[in-house]
Amino acid sequence: MTQHLSTQSASSLEFMPEKGKPVLQARGLVKRYGQVTALDGTDFELRSGEILAVIGDNGAGKSSLIKALSGATIPDSGEIMLDGAPVRFRSPIDARRKGIETVYQDLAVAPAMTIAENLFMGREILRPGILGLLKIIDKKAMLTEATRHMADLKIGIRSMTQAVETLSGGQRQGVAVARSAAFARHVVIMDEPTAALGVKEGNMVLDLIRRVRDSGLPVIIISHNMPHVFEIADRVHIQRLGKRATVINPKRLSMSDAVAVMTGAMKSEDLSADMLAP
Amino acid sequence: MSNPSALSNPKTKTWLQYLPSVTVLGPVIALVLASFYFATQTDRFLTPQNFSLILQQVMVVAVIAIGQTLVILTAGIDLSCGMIMALGGVVMTKFAEQFGFPPVLAILCGIGVTTAFGFLNGMLITRIKLPPFIVTLGTLNIAFALTQIYSAAQTVNISNPASPLLVFGGSLSIGGTVFNFGVITAIFLYIIVWFILSETAPGRHLYAVGNNPEAARLTGIPTQRVLLLVYTLAGTIYGVAAWLLVSRTGVGDPNAGQTDNLDSITAVVLGGTSLFGGRGVIFGTLLGALIVGVFRNGLTLTGVGSVYQVLITGILVILAVTADQLSKKK
């Protein structure tokens, strides 16, 4: 369970995967809650080296899709593939073990604990040898690793020993993102990463998300903030009525047209080929 | 980066954010002020003999309060601690005196019973998801009734003055101050638990579970197992407290520990541990137990009635909890 950040980050820096290879895919996902069909046979594809935004109206199945991909719900049918191999996630912890880290909207940090402790929560570095067998933690190593990792992501917090509750909203988001980026091997999923942040802090988090992508980890973001989505996403997955309506190229399609597709005012068949994502 | 300073500027602190340090410093200040006051009122207060007496008076509650601290750090509460201890004390003395068990085995049986009760608390809380307050209110009554039934409400005397049951009654004297073995053991337990809480992964998991159980679960910490372990370990600690109590009083007393639940919670809260979980230092609890001990002792020496001691304890608890609540609201 214990992993060292050094090996993680080093490998992700050396290993720049070829762009465009599918990393996480889903086919025909169905999820029903009683009478309500949240997912009606939806497809999904995340490629290496990209930031994929998932947008959709309320009730389009956006969060059910993300829950299925992060292991928070088990779909009734359909399949999920990680690096081309079928996988089944029984819980978020299961998905995490397979290298998919999720940054939850409520951040899932322990406010009274320090930044270093939050980064390593549940995955503490143990002392070598017999002390490690006694589950004695290596505070110094965790502090060093945390400092280095936060510096790599250019999150300018100096002291890793300050409690997370003393940080601003953007800084807390930074800690949550840094934790996921440190331990993810395949995918980072971010649920509304810029919600409840001011303009400056929102931009800072967008920069951070780009750095995570550039370090070699593909990122899925779910957001209601259209300007942010269009600023950061390489491709935009539009979810509508429990299905994937289309995947668009945010550099070719306007924000208002994307919203029109999202609400059904414009049919995805009416989009010209260059507006769609390659 | 669009604005580097957005990340690197620490937020300016308001006075409310200094309150956590108030909850740590407050007890120290209270202890020093109270000691100073009592020392000016009576010259019997500031003597080595009186100091070791205070330590012996508080040691049993101080040990129970270790278990209580672990539980409260997980945002739980344990009302059953004193009654579980009484049952453990009766079991170990009866097994040794009336069934002829070797005393060491009898002691282990007593600690086994208290551990089993802690495990029962933990199972009801983690498996059936009952609130800790209700579960331990129930086991409080069960343990009390079992103690009375099993002992027939009779105190169990210990015939052999050299019995291991009484080992903590011994002491060594350094420079006129008598260091009771029980007190030394209690302090040793504090050091062990401090080490576990601060230096080991399970200790940090306990704080995470108390601080944000959902976050702890999502990072893969087995939160239910942590809780079960905490209540079980608390039971074991109450067993050690039972042994200390038997050593101190020389009997197995079925009526022991009846106010120890509230006394231990008082010690924990005065020591700055938050009732909301996830915040607190174990040595604060030792300090809290000492504050209660010093107030009781000092007020007794200055001839203040015991009702006023209760009154002052109550006021101290309200102050400590208020500080906790205000620091949470910031």
Annotation: CATH topology of B48-329: ABC transporter involved in vitamin B12 uptake, BtuC (1.10.3470)
- What residue type is assigned to position B205 of the chain? H
pLDDT score recorded for residue A16: 47
A56, A61, A103, A66: which is closest to A236 by C-alpha? Answer: A56
Q: How far is B182 from chain A (nearest CA, A)?
A: 27
% of chain B residues with pLDDT over 70: 91
B250, B31 Cβ separation under 8 angstroms: no
Residue B100: alpha-carbon gap to chain centroid: 32
Length of chain B: 330
A157/B218 CB distance under 8 A: no
CB contact under 8 A, A110 and B215: yes
Superfamily of structural domain A5-275: P-loop containing nucleotide triphosphate hydrolases (3.40.50.300)
Q: What is the mean pLDDT of the segment spanning B126-130?
A: 96
The whole-number pLDDT of residue A59 equals 86
ipTM of the complex: 0.81
pLDDT in tens, B44-88: 898 888 888 899 889 999 999 999 999 999 999 999 999 999 999
Q: Please, what is the average pLDDT of chain A?
A: 87
**By mean pLDDT, which of A260-264, B248-252, B254-258, B317-321 is the weakest?**
B317-321
Chain B hits for A168, CB-CB cut-off 8 Å, are: 6, 11
Q: Is A111 on the interface with B (CB under 8 A)?
A: yes
Q: How many Å apart are CA B304 and CA A23, to the nearest integer?
A: 75
- Choose among A242, A141, A229: nearest CA to A190: A229
Query: Shortest Cα distance from A265 to chain B (angstroms)?
Result: 35
- Smallest Cα distance from B209 to chain A, Å: 9
A109 and chain B in contact, CB less than 8 A: yes
Which pLDDT does position A2 carry in this prediction?
43
* Predicted pLDDT at B273: 92
Strand A22-33 to A187-191 pairing: unpaired
| Cβ atoms A54, A237 nearer than 8 A | yes
Residue A241 has pLDDT above 60, yes or no: yes
Chain A: residue nearest B223 by CA? A122
Please measure the distance between the N-terminal and C-terminal CA atoms of chain B and give it in whole angstroms: 30
Residues B59 and B182: beta-carbon distance below 8 Å:
yes
Candidates B2, B3, B5, B7, partner chain A, best to mutate (most A CBs within 10 A): B7
Task: Please give the residue of chain A at the shortest CA–CA distance from B197.
Answer: A136
- B145 touches B128 (CB < 8 A): no
Task: List, for residues B236-285, the tens digit of each pLDDT value.
Answer: 999 999 999 999 999 999 999 998 999 999 999 988 899 999 999 999 99
Q: Do B212 and A171 touch (CB under 8 A)?
A: no
Q: Which helix (H) or strand (E) holds A111?
A: none
Contact B110, B263 (CB under 8 A): no
Neighbours of B198 (CB within 10 A): 14
Tell me the DSSP string of B50-69. Answer: HHHHHHHHHHHHHHHHHHHH
β-strand pairing of A219-222 with A187-191: parallel
Q: Where do runs of H (alpha helix) occur along chain A?
A: 5-14, 62-70, 92-97, 115-119, 130-133, 139-152, 169-183, 199-214, 226-232, 255-263
Average pLDDT over residues A136-151: 92
User: Distance from CA of residue B279 to its chain's centroid?
Assistant: 16
Specify the pLDDT at position A107.
67
Question: Contact at 8 Å (CB) between A48 and A188?
Answer: no
Q: Transcribe B301-330 into DSSP letters.
A: HTT--HHHHHHHHHHHHHHHHHHHHHHHH-
Are residues B304 and B38 in contact, defined by beta-carbon separation less than 8 angstroms?
A: no
| Confidence class for position A145, pLDDT limits 50, 70, 90 | very high
Provide the total of helices (H) and of strands (E) in chain A, helices listed first. Answer: 10, 10
For A110, the closest of B4, B202, B278 (CB atoms) is: B278
Residues 6+ apart with CB under 8 A from A92: A70, A71, A72, A102, B218
